[in-house]
Amino acid sequence: MVVGDASLDIDLLVIGAGPGGYVAAIRAAQLGQNVLVVDKEYVGGVCLNVGCIPSKALISASHQYESMNHASEFGITASDVKVEWSKVQEFKNGVVKKLTGGVGSLLKANKIQYFAGEVMFINETEARVFNDQEAPRYRFKNCIIATGSRPIELKAFPYGGRIVSSTGALSLPEIPKSLVVIGGGYIGIELGQMYARFGTKVTVIEGSDSILPGFDADMSSLVAKKLKGAQAEIVTGAQAKSAEQTDKDVTVTYTVGGEDKQVTADYLLVTVGRRPNTDGELGLDLIDLKMTDRGMIEVDDQCRTSIPHIYAIGDIIAGPALAHKAMYEARVAAEAIAGQPSKIDYKCIPLVVFSDPECSSVGYSEKEAKEKGHNVKVGKFPFNINGRALSLGVKEGFVKIIGDADTGLVLGAQIAGIEASNMIAELGLAIEMGATLEDIALTIHAHPTLGEIVLDAVEMALGHPIHAISK
């Protein structure tokens, strides 16, 4: 290893090349900063390589397979439909390669230096970046820490063999005949349902009273119903205790209702949350950053840490571990460094689960709006009487709009159904710009589209629905 003595000067050091890091780097470069990005694994971070993108590629493939096997209601019969798992994996890897390559090209086009390696702080203005070949030392004016998170590993369920994390679940050597999922949150449900569509017998073990805790009960019940229709078993109020694996399967012991039970499957997927990457050899203890007991870095409304020229974004600060949250914070931090008055405002962070049906949410739920003291007005409209939904063969789903009865302002929305992930953006914009229910009602929605369900839900809230009988 070659170690340089003199420090190289840069304006901005970005640690991590995931959705937060690379967006921060590009925005800072646009604002005139000389930027160095360092990542020890890969451009694109967890999201593009072993998270959001590859999982959605596999989910899409599973929907294709399911559609081909259930096309008879459209008058189409398909026979001998087979899955070539190696080619499914090739499709997934191709999507990842294209997107990560694209990010690399964007960094290059914006004249951003990239270093494949690790970082260790020397002091508050200097850091060593290193790999097996070199270890240059940099002096920086500002720094953005965007090191992301990793799956939590439980002592009773160490990863390895037939016990896998979400990362391992994306690259299993075959479609398992059976799978146990510990954790019924969005990651466990997305991956569990994906395999269920491919024919895997799935068992979900969740500690709370329902899957997708934190989401509207009507939404999680729709997903649970679809899972059970795929012959999956959902065990709620359960506590996983231990696992014993052989070279062929794994047996999980769990407690429910005070009774110990067991289930054996080909693989065990553990999805119980993520841990911030603030430990290890980064050297945060050497610069005395203010952190929480959970290893999160404390920041202000510009993502500035207790050291004014060091910023932190993404999974290592408070809030949900979402790629789009990290991207948003990245822009704020880069603009704050450039002297702009950008500040974080989390009232419009959309939550999306690529379950079946898809679920999305933005702003307040009905319960939250009432707790905040609003006089609430609610409109709810089903998918199954919308022309576009019926033409797609969709039978389940709804749009729910929460408004303020006194001001008419849109406070929140929840959508369960096909394309819910795309439909939620209109409602996020409405909340962000301070739109009213009447503003949406006056917006012409194209026909026939799923977007019309948003209009119908708003008209329900206003008390003059066109496509439903007012109660």
Give me the active site residues, please: 447
The angle formed by the CA atoms of residues 460, 462 and 467, to the nearest 5 degrees, is 35
Closest CA to 36 of 134, 128, 150: 128
155 annotated to a ligand binding site? no
315 annotated to a ligand binding site? yes
Amino acid at 146: A
280 annotated to a ligand binding site? no
d(CA 419, CA 404): 26
Helix/strand number for the chain, H first, E second: 13, 22
189 annotated to a ligand binding site? yes
236 annotated to a ligand binding site? no
183 annotated to a ligand binding site? yes
Q: CA dist 86 to 58, 101, 228, 281, Å?
A: 12, 22, 28, 37
d(CA 1, CA 362): 49
**Would you give the end-to-end CA distance of the chain in angstroms?**
75
273 annotated to a ligand binding site? yes
3-state secondary structure of 60: helix
3-state secondary structure of 324: helix
206 annotated to a ligand binding site? yes
d(CA 299, CA 434): 27
3-state SS, one letter per residue, for 384-412 = HHCHHHHHCCCCCCEEEEEEECCCCEEEE
- Alpha helix ranges (H) inside 319-451: 323-337, 366-371, 387-391, 420-432, 437-441
Across the beta sheet with 267-270, the strand order is 163-164, 267-270, 178-182, 201-205, 233-235
373 annotated to a ligand binding site? no
41 annotated to a ligand binding site? no
Residue 104 in tokens: 């690399």
Q: CA dist 363 to 328, 347, 358, 381, Å?
A: 16, 6, 17, 18
How many CA atoms lie less than 13 Å away from 410 in the CB half-sphere?
33
Question: Contact at 8 Å (CB) between 232 and 180?
Answer: no
149 annotated to a ligand binding site? yes
188 annotated to a ligand binding site? yes
Strands 163-164 and 359-363: unpaired
Amino acid at 122: I
d(CA 360, CA 63): 18
Max CA distance (Å), the chain: 77
Return binding residues for NAD(+): 183-190, 206, 273
- Binding site for FAD: residue ranges? 56, 147-149, 315
Binding-site annotation, residues: 56, 147-149, 183-190, 206, 273, 315
